[in-house]
């Protein structure tokens, strides 16, 4: 018998909002169909409404298959290759709707984004990888650097003097140990530059919930494992990471234990 507790609460939050999003689009579709078939509408209005309804039907069908694929993947931890496309549609197209619904229900946005990251990570972990270290890119935010450090490392991370005051030294040690690529970005533009430069086959991304969700979507179809940073002094200031989580993600892509 299948144990429903396989889906942790954090993952269930995003999946639940995704389901509500599909219901909401279905209700919208019903309203459009009612307006389109109303005798008070002109022929042009009816054609336009029916065309819109057709697009929504297509998106809804694809998203339903995608949501089903996501749930099955989470439950059985097995990759469903044939549903990769619909699953991307469900995740990316309906994510803003899920956030909007979360606002209606007064759910903290970071909780929803954290749930999205958890779902994404498990979907990635359902696949098999055996990558070379040079095919893996670790992207970290510049706020990991000690705020009073005089050395600029976003242009060249090797400017770090490895004093140990922040987590950058740990990331460089990880790079030296495994031979992976590690870079620090000040935002999405620089992160995309590094992706174009290194052309990785997998990314380990370190950031806050907001930047991780946008980064995961921007990097699609490159698989991304997200590691949320810790913020003992507030957002974007002397943030920290658990280096063991980053190492675990790197080793997963290399298929080493």
Domain boundaries, the chain: 4-125, 133-254
> CA triplet 58, 59, 63: central angle to 5 degrees?
120
Paired with 202 in beta bridges are 136
Instruction: Please state whether 255 falls in left (phi above 0), alpha (psi between -120 and 50) or beta.
Output: left
pLDDT of residue 256: 64
Q: Identify each DSSP E strand in the chain by its residue range.
A: 136-141, 181-185, 202-207, 224-228
Sign (positive/negative) of CA torsion 242, 245, 250, 255? positive
pLDDT under 50: residue ranges of the chain? 1-6
Q: Which fold has domain 133-254?
A: Rossmann fold (3.40.50)
Joined tokens for residue 17: 């909002």
Beta bridge partners of 136: 202
Task: Give Cβ neighbours of residue 132 (< 8 Å, ≥ 6 apart).
Answer: 254
Task: State residue 229's pLDDT score.
Answer: 94
Q: Where are the beta strands (DSSP E) in 96-192?
A: 136-141, 181-185
Beta carbons of 129 and 225 less than 8 angstroms apart = no
CA–CA distance, 168 with 184 (Å, rounded to integer): 9
d(CA 220, CA 238): 29
Residue partners of 104: CB distance under 8 A and separation at least 6: none
């Amino acid at each position: 018998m299948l144990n429903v507790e396989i889906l942790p609460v954090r993952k269930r939050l995003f999946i639940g909002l995704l389901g509500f999003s599909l219901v909401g689009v279905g209700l919208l579709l019903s309203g459009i169909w009612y307006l389109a078939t109303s005798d008070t509408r002109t022929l042009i209005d009816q054609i336009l409404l029916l065309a819109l309804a057709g697009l929504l039907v297509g998106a809804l069908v694809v998203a339903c298959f995608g949501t089903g694929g996501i749930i099955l993947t989470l439950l059985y931890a097995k990759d469903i290759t044939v549903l990769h496309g619909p699953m991307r549609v469900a995740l990316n197209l309906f994510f803003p709707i899920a956030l909007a619904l979360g606002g209606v229900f007064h759910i903290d946005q970071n909780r929803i984004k954290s749930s999205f990251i958890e779902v994404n990570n498990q979907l990635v972990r359902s696949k098999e990888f055996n990558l070379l270290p040079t095919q893996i890119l670790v992207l970290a935010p510049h706020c990991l650097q000690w705020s009073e450090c005089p050395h600029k490392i976003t242009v060249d991370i090797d400017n770090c003097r490895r004093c140990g005051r922040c987590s950058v030294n740990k990331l460089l040690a990880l790079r030296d140990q495994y031979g992976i690529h590690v870079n620090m970005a000040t935002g999405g533009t620089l992160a995309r530059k590094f992706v174009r430069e290194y052309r990785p086959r997998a990314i380990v991304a370190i950031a806050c919930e907001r930047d991780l969700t946008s980064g995961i979507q921007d990097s699609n179809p490159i698989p991304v494992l997200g590691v949320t940073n810790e913020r003992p002094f507030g957002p974007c200031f002397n943030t920290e990471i658990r280096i063991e989580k980053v190492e675990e993600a790197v080793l997963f892509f290399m298929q080493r234990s």
